[in-house]
A and B are shown apart, each in its own frame.
Chain A
Amino acid sequence: MLRQLAALPLFLIFLLPLALSLALILPTIAEAAAFKALLNHPQLWGAAGLTLFTGLISTVLSLICALMIIAGRIDKPPQAGAMLALPHLSLAIGLSLLIMPAGLLARIIALPFGWTSPPMWATTQDRYGLALTAALVLKETPFLVWAFASLLNRDDLRQAFRGQSAVARSLGRGPASVFLRIIAPQLLNRTVWPLVAVLAYSLTVVDMAIVIGPTQPPTLAQIIWTDLNDAEPAIEARGAAGVLVLSTVILLLLWVVGLSVRLGRPYSRKWLSGPPDTGHRKISFLTQTWGLWGLFYSAIVILLLFQSASGLWPFPDLLPESLTFSAWEKLLSDGRPLLTSFLLALGTAMTALAASVVWFEGMRPSGDKIMLWLAAFLLCLPSLLIGLGQYRLFLALGITGTALAMFLAHVLPVVAYVFIMLQGPYRGFDQRWQTTAAGLGQRRVAFLRQIKWPMLKAPILAAFAVGFAVSIAQYVPAQLAAAGRYSTLPIEAVTLSSGGNRALVAAYGAALMALPLIVFLLAQWLSRPRWRAR
């Protein structure tokens, strides 16, 4: 009985609202005519190809980059938290300010060559979505690095890896071999779901694609987004059919990847236990690449801040003709959206964390699968669809435009991320600690407070910070649930920037980053290992 009670918090804030929202929206959209209309969409196949290309390539590249970065810094995992604070949208805006034909790079080249008008570069909106892929890799790599680092920062795993590495090295394996054969497989095993989240995100992203992706054809997610936004019910239904198709494609992809990993296991096992490398490949140079990431993120932030204060800035001038703070004045003239966003993020991240921990402590690990699948499923769904479902639910309950609706709308994706981030590290906790503690007669609560949670401090804080950032970035569900009675930072940002005022867009891009940045830096500082063995 007590075990089942442990599922209650997540049931109330996640499972039940999710199930009801889907039940309210799915029957209205599964129309045969809509699927036919989708098949007749002239851009369907091109868009599907583009989506698969950008989504798969960016996920694979992000994983390779993250592993390379981690490989060189096993003992001192890099601190990626600050980078995670930069919202996807802000990164896409910043990147395009850098590489677009009238961007900073073009201006730097224009000066010596004497160009007076921007070059005809296809650096953004290129037809293969390379700029979009680059933006995704730049954004998702730090996320994976952070997921790996939060494992490596766990004291029990650190000890284990250190011991295993020492053994492997004494058996004649070089550092590269030790990493690839011993550490990487264990890291990947524990980060399957963050990887799923990255893939799902890359295949369904809308805001980044709008800023930096191509239009002819656009990605499938963009077509769906445009259709779902249409006031014409038939077009909206076509968008909903697209959602079902895209979600099915993602699930199929995951199944194929999972199947090939399983089928490939005998071969990979053979490789894992293969003979030691003869050459001792050095991997220290790979640590250098992390510096580049830091450099890029700093450049983006500086560019955003600079652009936010710029007046008229004709090409090819390196500096704007005038500086103005009117964008920031506009942004700060009303403090309510900022406060609302902050309180919601704090409340939802704390609730999601507490509910997840209660679940982990009370439920058997076998029950996690359903939560993980549902969380991943939620991340695969366009926010507009789930937002509409929630909105119908709130409408039926008569709570649109209330604080409760705002909370429920924000907490859903926060739970999904927090649960996915925390499940691996929390369940991977070495149970022998508990057995030992129990053997010494320590009570469970005391064990949790004095031993388990302090040891899991890093992943717990990481999950909180990610949840906080996810809440801050919510736009669609928030906008629907608010019914104009509340405003949040992203609601202001999206509506005000639809006019294309670049200074205002940049100011909001920077402002959306500020709160999560503080939280990530705090989390990073609080979760530093208490002792550092040399």
Chain B
Amino acid sequence: MLNRRHFLALTAAGLSLRPAFAADWAAIEAEAKGQTVYFNAWAGSEQVNGYIAWAGEEAKKRFGITVEHVKITDTAEVVKRVRDEVVAGKADGSVDLVWINGENFRTMKTEKLLFGPFSESLPNYQFVDVEGKATVTQDFSESVDSLEAPWGMAQLTFFADGAKVAEPPLSMAALTRFAEANPGRVTYPAPPEFHGTTFIKQMLLEAVINPSMFYKPGDGAIFSTVRAVWESMLDGLHKNCWREGKQFPKSQADVTQMVADGELLIGFTFNPNEPANLVAAGRLPPTTIAWQHKKGTIGNTHFVAIPMNAKAKAAAQVFANFLLSPEAQARKNDIKLWGDPTVLALSKLSPEEQQAFAATAAPGSVTLPGPTLLEPHASWVPLVEQAWLERYGKG
């Protein structure tokens, strides 16, 4: 088994890594046989659950690994569970693999709760689009350091019923004008709900001409230079928001449901294919349209990581590697099944493998894509959340 010290020793010695890994990988696969992977993953979507069930069955057939999907609502639960287990000295932990990114990853990495490095030595990592997708190595401005394996891509994406919204607003300014024309029909979930926080961060990025300042650590003094602009933009939007911006829905799922009901006109999601997926599932009308802002929206990558006290580390790596395989990634990419964009570079795949990713235009797909903006440095999150709560949290 590789640990950090071995890894450093190998690179320091300038050894050719691939053959060494190949031998190691066979050993890992052998060790994995018969192990059970307790995969802790958010379970709010039937499509996601269905996909994980499929991957589990394949892992059983191909590698003799049993995968148990531990259904969770919030990854913070898992972070705390692992922390408690480690503090209690429990070596055979209850979590073998966790679906994770951002704040939770940073916490686990800083507190040294993760096993690894491992992800870059997974055989299928060679197909990952390291060059084209900056977020597969930088998770919310935190260096991944091979401690988590990329699984899928996300980008803030807006959607609406095209029958009601003819011209989608392609910027926050346009969204504010849209709300003026349609008072009470736009809103976002209250931060610190993840999507709500992303929304106000997006507002922050669009508040300035050059957002480079947000990619460095922020503090109260730096924030004060942009705070007034940011707040006046939010004020302008809130004036014509749902409930005049005095109340906000609790979750992105609520917003989506309110769009389906017609109570709101515009919703948003982190999975660009979710609108199409919801159309396929009969929860949004077939006239649904999806778009991203012209100058870009915040995007990131989600990963799987192995806690340092995982019981089935070998099987967890084998399963993480399978999730990275072109076959598993293509299936995940399929809008009818899940529609989670791939982390792989199609150019690194064989023509047949590329074929499996060929997108079939489905109702609700993103028609007006925008570039991906990196997440602001993590230190900005408490700043904007606290400021938002002080100004808008009292109703």
Q: Which of A322, A392, A484 contacts B38 (CB 8 A)?
A: A484
Tell me, rounded to whole Å, the shortest Cβ–Cβ distance linking B275 to chain A. 14
- Supposing A322-B282, A324-B282, A501-B46 touch, asked if A214 and B247 sit within 8 A by C-beta, the answer is yes
Q: Which of A42, A125, A322, A395 contacts B393 (CB 8 A)?
A: A42
B84 touches A216 (CB 8 A): no
- Cβ of B40: which chain A residues have Cβ within 8 Å of it? 484
B71 touches A117 (CB 8 A): no
- Supposing A312-B285, A395-B84 touch, asked if A102 and B258 sit within 8 A by C-beta, the answer is yes
Q: Which of B94, B249, B394, B395 contacts A483 (CB 8 A)?
A: B94
A500 touches B44 (CB 8 A): yes
List the one stretch of A57-65, A410-418, A487-495 in contact with chain B.
Answer: A487-495
A495 touches B43 (CB 8 A): yes
A102 touches B262 (CB 8 A): yes
B395 touches A216 (CB 8 A): yes
- Supposing A117-B262, A217-B394, A499-B46 touch, asked if A232 and B107 sit within 8 A by C-beta, the answer is yes
Tell me, rounded to whole Å, the shortest Cβ–Cβ distance linking A213 to chain B. 9
- Cβ of B251: which chain A residues have Cβ within 8 Å of it? 498, 500
B294 within 8 A of A: no
Q: Could you give, for residues 495-514 of chain A, a 1 whenever the CB lies within 8 Å of some chain B CB and a 0 otherwise?
A: 11111111010000000000
- Supposing A312-B283, A315-B262, A496-B44 touch, asked if A215 and B248 sit within 8 A by C-beta, the answer is yes
A330 touches B84 (CB 8 A): no
CA distance A502 to B394 in the complex (A): 29
B146 within 8 A of A: no
CA distance A217 to B244 in the complex (A): 15
Number of A-B contacts (CB under 8 A): 147
A216 touches B393 (CB 8 A): yes
List the one stretch of B74-82, B173-181, B350-358 in contact with chain A.
Answer: B74-82
Residue on B with the closest CB to A476? B77
Tell me, rounded to whole Å, the shortest Cβ–Cβ distance linking B195 to chain A. 12
Q: Which of B90, B257, B389 contacts A500 (CB 8 A)?
A: B257
A485 within 8 A of B: yes
Tell me, rounded to whole Å, the shortest Cβ–Cβ distance linking B231 to chain A. 14
B394 touches A498 (CB 8 A): no
Q: Which of A101, A210, A216 contacts B392 (CB 8 A)?
A: A216
Within 8 A of B (CB), among A399-438: 400-401
- Cβ of A9: which chain B residues have Cβ within 8 Å of it? none
- Cβ of B190: which chain A residues have Cβ within 8 Å of it? 215-216
B68 within 8 A of A: yes
Residue on B with the closest CB to A127? B395
B261 touches A102 (CB 8 A): yes
Tell me, rounded to whole Å, the shortest Cβ–Cβ distance linking A119 to chain B. 9
Q: Could you give, for residues 180-198 of chain B, a 1 whenever the CB lies within 8 Å of some chain A CB and a 0 otherwise?
A: 0000110000101000000
A231 within 8 A of B: yes
Instruction: Tell me whether chain A's interface is mostly helix, strand or loop, or mixed.
Output: loop
CA distance A391 to B77 in the complex (A): 12
B247 touches A215 (CB 8 A): yes
A248 within 8 A of B: no
A216 touches B263 (CB 8 A): no
Q: Could you give, for residues 212-234 of chain A, a 1 whenever the CB lies within 8 Å of some chain B CB and a 0 otherwise?
A: 00111100000000100111100
- Supposing A117-B263, A396-B88 touch, asked if A485 and B94 sit within 8 A by C-beta, the answer is yes
Within 8 A of A (CB), among B127-180: none
Tell me, rounded to whole Å, the shortest Cβ–Cβ distance linking B84 to chain A. 6
B71 touches A492 (CB 8 A): yes
Within 8 A of A (CB), among B68-123: 68, 70-77, 79-81, 84-85, 88, 90, 94-95, 103-104, 107
Tell me, rounded to whole Å, the shortest Cβ–Cβ distance linking A98 to chain B. 14
Tell me, rounded to whole Å, the shortest Cβ–Cβ distance linking A477 to chain B. 13
- Cβ of B252: which chain A residues have Cβ within 8 Å of it? 500
CA distance A8 to B90 in the complex (A): 31
Q: Could you give, for residues 109-120 of chain A, a 1 whenever the CB lies within 8 Å of some chain B CB and a 0 otherwise?
A: 000000011101
B254 within 8 A of A: yes
CA distance A450 to B107 in the complex (A): 62
CA distance A314 to B260 in the complex (A): 7
B295 within 8 A of A: no
Residue on B with the closest CB to A401? B94
CA distance A125 to B248 in the complex (A): 9
B184 touches A43 (CB 8 A): no
- Cβ of B185: which chain A residues have Cβ within 8 Å of it? 117
A20 within 8 A of B: no
CA distance A476 to B63 in the complex (A): 34
A294 within 8 A of B: no
CA distance A231 to B102 in the complex (A): 12
- Cβ of B85: which chain A residues have Cβ within 8 Å of it? 395
Task: Count chain B CB atoms within 10 A of each CB in A116, A401, A496, A498 and give the residue with the most.
Answer: A498
Q: Which residues of A contact B (CB under 8 A)?
A: 41-43, 46, 101-102, 116-118, 120, 122, 125-127, 210, 214-217, 226, 229-232, 236, 311-312, 314-315, 322, 324, 330, 391-392, 395-396, 398, 400-401, 479-480, 483-485, 487, 491-492, 494-502, 504
A-B contact pairs, 16 of them (CB 8 A): A101-B261, A102-B261, A117-B185, A214-B395, A231-B107, A312-B260, A480-B81, A483-B81, A484-B68, A495-B42, A496-B49, A496-B71, A497-B44, A499-B46, A500-B44, A500-B256
> 6 tightest CB-CB pairs across the interface, nearest first?
A500-B253, A499-B44, A484-B70, A102-B261, A498-B44, A495-B71
